[in-house]
Amino acid sequence: MGERTVTSGGEVLRELLAEGVSPWLDGLRRSLLTSGTLTRLVAAGRVRGATTDPAALAAEVAGGTSYAQQLCHLTCRSVPLTTAVQALCAYDLRTACDELQPVFAATQGLDGHVSMDPVVHPGGCAGALADSAVALHRAACRPNALVKLPATDAGLAAAGECLARGIGVHVTGIFSVQRYEHVVEAWFEGLERARGAGLDLSVIPSVAGLPVARLDAEVDGLLRSAGAAPELRGTAALAVARLVYQRYEEGLGSARWRVLASAGARPQRLMWSVGSGGSGGSAISGSSAVSGGSAIPATPGGSAGSGVPYVEALVAWGTVSALSSAALEAVVERGRLRGDTLTGQDGAARAAVARLERCGVSFGEVAKRLEADSVAHEVSSWRGLRGAVAARMRGGAE
């Protein structure tokens, strides 16, 4: 679809859906469930899925009251710490899945999913990740639950194992085209194994997540440190997203995919984590605007990390934009779309990558560093969650 200007306000979310982009709530936690926030967002048609973040859960366990009643119950029963953490997470996952069940039913399973990390060290071995993911999915006991796994070698092996068992996955932390290709290979292999086992491929969803704001922040930081090409700030994430989308389309045009599609499989969807909340990563990094739509521009009057520029700039069929509740409101208030911004833009994307590489940016090194940082952040977040739960249980969950 060609670029065009559309109205702002609540209409922008309907326009996103018309372009094939589903808005998901990023950073789901208990207070958004108990307050009815998720219920209202679903009823208003503003979100079509949700994903959680252990750092947000840890902060709410430590400083809020939303988890107090369940923690008190778990403490009275002398439940072990790991079991208690999983119980909290499984409750949130089940409840959110139930809230999004109407979307899941209305879209025949295309939307209405909720993803959550398994309760295990994110840097652990593939077997431990897969076992924990299976345990979480079993505890959730909902068809629209997804397990979230890192795009590391171990995480992809675990994702393939889950898919082979009929469990939907959300692979996160993809920072390069090469790593996305690894994700696609794991997805194909997992579905092929599921097909060989006689499973129904139509009920095995998959999402591949790119934290685009974090990628821009990293590359823009390198450019600032080198005092190089300020006009190129804000171009990295859009370039990578366009190249990834090209690979997405190539995969769906392959003979390998046609075999799986004939067996009922659905395409793996691309997710842009676009804000500073939850798994969205760092704040939007720059205020540059490069002609020709090759940069993520700042939004007039918008705040850094609002997510609005990414929602506007990353539009194509079959994708998801994951936003915090604050970013979602900012998009509703200030968002404006220009139609499809990714399809057929691989030439411009390759040119943008070449310009950045001439300025000293090594996308391979950037991806490697961000992947390591992402795993370290997840490890720290889960450590924080376990610590917060342990502290509340020692204090009687008061």
- The active-site residue, picked from 29, 113, 142, 148, is 148
Least Cα distance to 7 among 246, 335, 245 occurs for: 335
Q: Is 26 helix (H, G, I), strand (E, B) or coil?
A: strand
Residue 319 amino acid letter? T
**CA atoms of 263 and 195, how far apart (whole Å):** 8
- Residue 324 contacts residue 278 (beta carbons within 8 Å): yes
For β-strands 114-116 and 145-150, DSSP reports them as: parallel
Give catalytic status of residue 148 as yes or no: yes
C-alpha angle with apex 307: 306 to 309, nearest 5 degrees? 110
CA 227 to chain centre: 32
In the chain, at which residue ranges do the beta strands (DSSP E only) sit? 21-28, 50-52, 114-116, 145-150, 169-172, 206-210, 269-273, 319-323
- Residue 207 contacts residue 148 (beta carbons within 8 Å): no
Separation in Å, CA 334 to CA 110, 204, 225, 234 = 27, 35, 32, 19
**CA atoms of 218 and 1, how far apart (whole Å):** 31
**CA atoms of 226 and 313, how far apart (whole Å):** 26
**CA atoms of 56 and 50, how far apart (whole Å):** 13
Please give the structure tokens belonging to residue 8.
Answer: 């702002």
**CA atoms of 300 and 323, how far apart (whole Å):** 19
Active site residues: 148
